Chain A
Amino acid sequence: MTLGLINANPVVHAKKERVARSEDPHGEDAVDPLEIYDFVRDIRDPEHPYSLEQLSVLSEESVTVDEKLGRILITFTPTIQHCSMATVIGLCLRVKLKECFPPHFKVDIKVAPGSHADEESVNKQLNDKERVAAALENPNLRQLVDECLYSNEL
């Protein structure tokens, strides 16, 4: 069923420098957007050997976090309007965050307003627990997600 690449020629951006943080020996480090971004920026795109950061699907500004309420909101921008990979990218983000943060965080994942043709249904699908669980039970889909999360092709 390979129909060829959906976006054959994506624009690749440069990776940004990682900031080394100055360690504060006392006091607690709150979870901040940069920390979350550091976890998700290297997720590989489902169809290209580039990271989500390089394709500028994600940026540090697209992550917001509320430590007190335990909420994380990520807004990502698919490379093209009718990208069918948007759901897969969202799924990758969700799996990654589930691994990296304790379960009391509620994670919301959305596509940026106006960046996708089918915005509403994609958002609904990404934040539906049942459908996420079902998707992860699909072996093909699961493999695709794992490849995106753990591959070293970048």
Chain B
Amino acid sequence: MLIFHIIEILPQLFPDPLGPFTSFAHDLFENLSYYFPIHFTHPKGEDLNIKRDDLARALMLAFSSTPLFEPFAIPLLLEKLSSSLPSAKVDSLRYLSDCTVKYGADRMAKHGEALWSSLKDAVFTSLDSVLSFTPETLEGLCLPENEIAAEALSLLQKLIVQNTNLFLDLIVVDEDINMIFNMISSYKSYHGIPAQSKQRLHAVVCILSTSVKASTASCNRVFECFFSRLMDILGLCVRNSSGNLSPDDSIMIPERYNHGALYLSIELLSACRDLIASSETIIAASARTEETWSYLLQSFLPSLTKAFCSASICTSEDSHDADMYFGVKGLLILATFPEGYLLISKPVFEKILTTFVSIVTVDYSNTLLWKLALKALVQIGSFIEKCHESEKEPSYLGLVVEKIVSLSSLGDFSIPFPLRLEALSEIGTSGKSYMLKVVEGLEEAIYANLSEVYVHGSSNSAEIVTQVLKCYSDKVIPWIHCANGFEEVPLQFAIHIWNQIENSMVFNATQTNKIEVLDAMMKAMKLAVASCSQENQNIIAQKSYHILSSSTSFPLKELFQQESFQIVQVDNSSSRDEWILSLFAAVVIAVHPETYVPNIKPLLYLFMTTLLKGNVAAAQALGSVVNKLGLKSAGVQTDCTLEEVMDIILNLSLWIFQSNSSSDIEAKMASAHDISLINLCSSIGSCTSLQIHAIVGLAWIGKGLLMRGHEKVKDITMIFLQCLQPNGRAEILHQEEGISENNNELDLHHSVMKRAADAFQILMGDSEVCLNRGFHAVIRPLYKQRFFSTMMPILQSLIMKSEPLSRSLLLRASAHIIIDTPLIVVLSDAKKIIPMVLDGLSALSNDILDKDVIYGLLLVLSGILMDKNGQDAVSDSAHTITNRLIELIQYPHMMLVRETAIQCLVAVSGLSHARIYPMRTQVLRAIAKALDDPKRAVRQEAVRCRQAWASIASRSLHI
């Protein structure tokens, strides 16, 4: 490496060309040349921290350090270029391009011919022949992914820039290229061309477009030589005037265009466009019109446009992907020529746009063409936006955006609705002004259909509005979030929705379609509110609270005045009230912590009553409230502190039971008027669903607390734990015996207990619906770790002394915690956790509903087994682990469980020999059964596992 550097510096020390260095150049280079190509043998991680790339670069600099090396270097590099080693090829191409720049034109000219022929070979052989017609490649310029080809083309570009005449002469007279031109004229369809010729065609395209891109002069030259030939092949004739389109019909249009020629001309055009775009600032536009290529282009333009149009819309049966692809791409390129070149007049541009729009609106059955056209429209739109093409913008707005937006409100179902929405949102993303239009259209559709739903309960509109809302929240709001200056849009949207619901006093939404619409609305509302600024959120919160308090039957005022913690059961709430409340919950879920939510206390009561009726959104809203309330840094005045809120929640007495008019319960509950939510959870009644709702509610509240790191979460988890233990229940059970002799008593309990265990999943899991970063939740770092380390010892000790029934539930709870804790934390505690994981696996493996829990536990186990420290920790319990895994190999409910179990067994086979050898026959026998598994993936894993276990003993397998 040092030597390379020295040589690089040497010429700078002896600048005198007649000096001693000249005479040594040959010897010096001879020595250098032995190093090329760098053959790097050091394996990774040796003491020298030199990489192959560094060495190669140093050598390259040494090679190109002085023009004096030229007579020796170039032949050597060319020779290496023809070697078969890919890395040598890439290297020599890189070296060559470096040398080209350093040595100067005169010296390189000597090698011109040799360079060209070897470059041509490199490009021809290294390109692949497959040309894809997917919409994604529409704008991409088909740049070769192959490294060799890419290097070769960049070298070619450098050479052409340096010495345009020489190399273009070579290209023009080259017989291979001419042969390709002859070849394409003989094939009509792209698919008719044999693969090898396709490859060559592709190579020619690359070479030609590179040379077009190199400079204006080369561009002229290429167009002069090839373009008219292409046009001849296409059968297009020269027209003198460039603008008027009227006599189009007189042009004879052949049935099918020659694909090869189309392809070539499109690529030439796009290269030409790129050239203009890059050099735009340098030369004035007016000077350009005199250039040869533009003259040529002008003369062919009308017929070319016509050809592309007909290619893209020709729908005959034998039309092919290639037709559409080339047609659309050609039109796109024509339309995106920068303004000021007068290449494309306004009528032509508009004609192109109408072609695309008509494809989008009519030809939706042809998926590929539809996608291509839409994509092309989007690209034209973003091109206009980017280049500030003032002239074209009105026509784009008028023709495309208006037309597409009108799709959203169109009543007839000529186009499937999802497709319309896709078109809308895609067009919208192409520019700000278009997005505004699109948003307007979408919102109009939403409002119109919503009022239909409100008033008539029409299921048709409900379906539409659900889809539009989904589109709004999936596509529009994220886009608004990224772009600046659209603060107002979500605000207006939210306010409008609230206004609308306020004004619609008649409410006839039917039960069936209501839920979907409400879900979609809540999602859109949440996202819209979340993307608002804090002030705007304040406005929305005020507005919604006003509506909630004024136009519903919820007794908010009375609640506010009541000092006693009592809630009157609101039984007569209509579905409209519920609707409003859910929307309000959505607002509460999504606001910033600093946003002021009025009158927290009565809202709390309201939410709590509704959550007991099974409204999860209310529970989530409560969780959000406790999560965000009373941040010290915020300095916003609130009605009450967090402590007060918690007191209210936990000690709230509920008179709710009186309306649950079963005499049994009333009798029971009469004695317990002031039963609190806590007691409710652990108390027993035949109102299991009520208990379940209470537990779910508590779980969300607990999650809110847990995420901000509040200590009250302990109280809540203790409630859950009590639910899981029989001891806490025993006394109550005792009292209960007199009242109800229901046989299914135990079952009911079981479902409640199970829900309590699942509450831990809510506590630990990441939720998409609320309490996440998007909805501005307060998240304390490492809260999961903290919870894990406090809970695990407690659970462990509880499991030790528990009865079978609650034991399995406790295991379930701990399984939830383990699954959702980051693996690295579990690893540090692996020794203690493993028994619980294993017990959990065996306890839960009977019920089909628990398969996801099982899978989660198995993933944790495999994580432990893969880790170095984890392996040390588990080696003591290898025997138990293996037994458990062998049981799971036959797990009938989920393929992934079987597969992962077998993978875990493979990992076990890596433990210390002494530990696992005794289990060998047992494992092999179990695996043999898995070879017969119905799923292929499992069978393959089984073969691998069998191999691993068989080879730990047999003598013959030591290879």
State the A residues within 8 Å of B (CB). Answer: 21, 23, 25, 28-29, 35, 39, 99-104, 139, 142-143, 146-147, 150-151
Inter-subunit contact B932/A102 (CB<8 Å): yes
CA A142 to CA B936, docked complex, whole Å: 29
User: 1/0 per position for B909-938, CB-CB distance to A under 8 A?
Assistant: 000000000000000000011011011110
Say whether A146 contacts B959, CB under 8 Å. yes
Report the minimal beta-carbon distance from B899 to chain A, rounded to whole angstroms: 11
Q: Binary interface profile of B, 933-959, with partner A (CB < 8 Å = 1, else 0)?
A: 011110100010011001000001101
Q: Which residue of B lies closest to A103 (CB)?
A: B928
B895's closest neighbor in chain A, by CB?
A: A25
Known A23-B937, A29-B934, A29-B936; contact A102-B928, beta-carbon cutoff 8 A:
yes
Chain A, Cβ-Cβ closest to B944: A100
Determine whether the beta carbon of A143 is less than 8 Å from that of B934.
no
Q: Within the complex, what minimum Cβ distance (angstroms) separates B138 from chain A?
A: 26
Given A146-B957, A151-B959, residue A99 in contact with residue B937 (CB < 8 A): no
- Measured in the bound complex, the distance between the Cα atoms of B943 and A21 in whole Å is 18
Total interface residues on B, CB under 8 Å, equals 17
Contacts of A104 in B (CB 8 A): 932
> What chain B residues lie within 8 Å of A100 (beta carbons)?
931, 939, 943
- Point out the residue from B929, B936, B947 that lies within 8 Å of A21, measured CB to CB: B936
Q: Which residues of A contact B929 (CB under 8 A)?
A: 102
A142 and B947 CA atoms in complex are apart in Å by: 16
- CB B2 to nearest CB in A, in angstroms, measures 38
- A23 and B899 CA atoms in complex are apart in Å by 14
B935 and A28 contacting across the interface, CB-CB below 8 Å: yes
A143 and B956 contact, CB distance less than 8 A: yes
Complex CA gap A147/B959 in Å reads 7
A29 near B935 with CB under 8 A, answer yes
Query: Chain A nearest CB: distance from B311 CB in Å?
Result: 32
Q: How far is the CB of A74 from chain B (nearest CB, A)?
A: 17
Interfacial chain B residues near A102, Cβ < 8 Å: 928-929, 931-932
Q: How far is the CB of B758 from chain A (nearest CB, A)?
A: 25
- Residues on B with C-beta less than 8 A from A29 are 934-936
**Set of chain B residues within 8 Å of A39, measured between Cβ atoms:** 943
Most buried by B among A25, A99, A104: A99
9 contacts between A and B (CB under 8 A): A28-B935, A29-B935, A35-B936, A99-B946, A139-B956, A142-B956, A143-B956, A146-B959, A151-B959
Find the residue from A25, A39, A146 having the highest chain B CB count within 10 A: A146
| Residues on the B chain within 8 Å of A28, using CB | 934-935
Q: Which residue of A lies closest to B946 (CB)?
A: A99
Contacts of B935 in A (CB 8 A): 28-29
Closest to A147 in B: B959
| Distance from B949 Cβ to chain A, minimum over Cβ atoms (Å) | 12
Residues of B within 8 A of A146 (CB): 956-957, 959
User: Which residues of A are found within 8 Å of B931, using beta-carbon distances?
Assistant: 100-102
Chain B 122-159 interface mask (CB, 8 Å, partner A; 1/0) = 00000000000000000000000000000000000000
How far is it, in angstroms, between the C-alpha of A130 and the C-alpha of B624 when the chains are bound? 75
Residues of A within 8 A of B950 (CB): 99
What's the least CB distance linking B618 to chain A, in Å? Answer: 35
Minimal beta-carbon separation of A141 from chain B (angstroms)? 11
Complex-state Cα separation, A146 to B947, whole angstroms: 12
Which residue of chain B lies nearest to A146 when distances are taken between CB atoms in the complex? B956
Q: What separation, in Å, do the CA atoms of A104 and B931 have in the docked complex?
A: 11
- Residues in A neighbouring B937, C-beta threshold 8 A: 23
Which residues of A have CB within 8 Å of B939? 35, 100
CB distance from B350 to the nearest CB of A (A): 44
Q: Are A150 and B943 in contact (CB under 8 A)?
A: no
Going nearest first, the 5 A-B pairs with the smallest beta carbon separation are A28-B934, A29-B936, A102-B932, A102-B931, A100-B943
Contact B957 A150 (CB under 8 A): yes
Residue of A nearest to B929 (CB): A102
Q: A21-B936, A102-B929, A150-B959 are in contact. List 9 more A-B contacts (CB 8 A).
A: A28-B934, A39-B943, A99-B947, A99-B950, A100-B931, A143-B956, A146-B956, A146-B959, A150-B957
Question: Taking CB as reference atom, which chain A residue is nearest B950?
Answer: A99
**Cβ–Cβ < 8 Å partners of A143 in chain B:** 956
Which of B895, B929, B936 has the largest count of A CB atoms less than 10 A from its CB?
A: B936
Chain A residues whose C-beta falls within 8 Å of the C-beta of B928 in the assembled complex: 102-103
- Cα A25 to Cα B935 in complex, Å, equals 9
Q: Please, how many angstroms separate the alpha-carbon atoms of A21 and B932 in the complex?
A: 19
> In the assembled complex, how far is the CB of residue A132 from the closest CB belonging to chain B, in whole angstroms?
16
Please, how many angstroms separate the alpha-carbon atoms of A151 and B957 in the complex?
10
Residues of B within 8 A of A99 (CB): 943, 946-947, 950
A114 to chain B, nearest CB (A): 32
**CA A139 – CA B956 in complex, angstroms?**
8
> In whole Å, how far is B12's beta carbon from the nearest beta carbon of chain A?
50
| Chain A hits for B943, CB < 8 A | 39, 99-100
Q: How far is the CA of A75 from the CA of B360 in the complex (A)?
A: 54
How far, in angstroms, from A146 to B934 measured CA to CA in the complex?
A: 28
- Give the complex CA separation of A104 and B937 in angstroms: 20
Closest Cβ–Cβ distance, residue A19 to chain B (whole Å):
13
Give complex CA distance A119, B339 in Å: 77
A100 and B947 alpha carbons, distance in the complex (Å): 9
A139 surroundings in chain B (CB, below 8 A): 956
Chain A residue nearest to B936 (CB atoms) is: A29
Measured CB to CB, the nearest residue on chain A to B942 is A100
A29 CA to B940 CA in the complex, in Å?
12
Closest B residue to A104 using CB positions: B932
Q: How far is the CB of A36 from chain B (nearest CB, A)?
A: 11
Q: Which residues of B lie under 8 Å from residue A101 when comparing CB positions?
A: 931
User: Cα distance A100–B935 when bound, in Å?
Assistant: 14
Separation in Å of the B195 CB from the closest CB of chain A? 14
Residues in chain B near residue A23, CB distance under 8 A: 937
CA distance A99 to B895 in the complex (A): 22
* Interchain CA distance A146-B937 in the complex, whole Å: 25
* Residue on A nearest B947 in the bound complex, by CB: A99
- Distance between Cα atoms of A42 and B936 in the complex (Å): 18
Contacts of B895 in A (CB 8 A): 25
Q: How far is the CA of A103 from the CA of B950 in the complex (A)?
A: 16
* Chain B minimum-CB-distance residue to A101: B931
Interface residues of B in 238-253 (CB under 8 A from A): none
A75 CA to B636 CA in the complex, in Å?
Answer: 82
For A96, the closest partner residue in chain B by CB is B943
A151 partner residues in chain B, CB cutoff 8 A: 959
Q: Which chain A residues border B934 with CB–CB below 8 Å?
A: 28-29
| Distance, CA A28 to CA B937, complexed state (A) | 11
Q: Give CA–CA (A146, B950) in the complex, Å.
A: 13
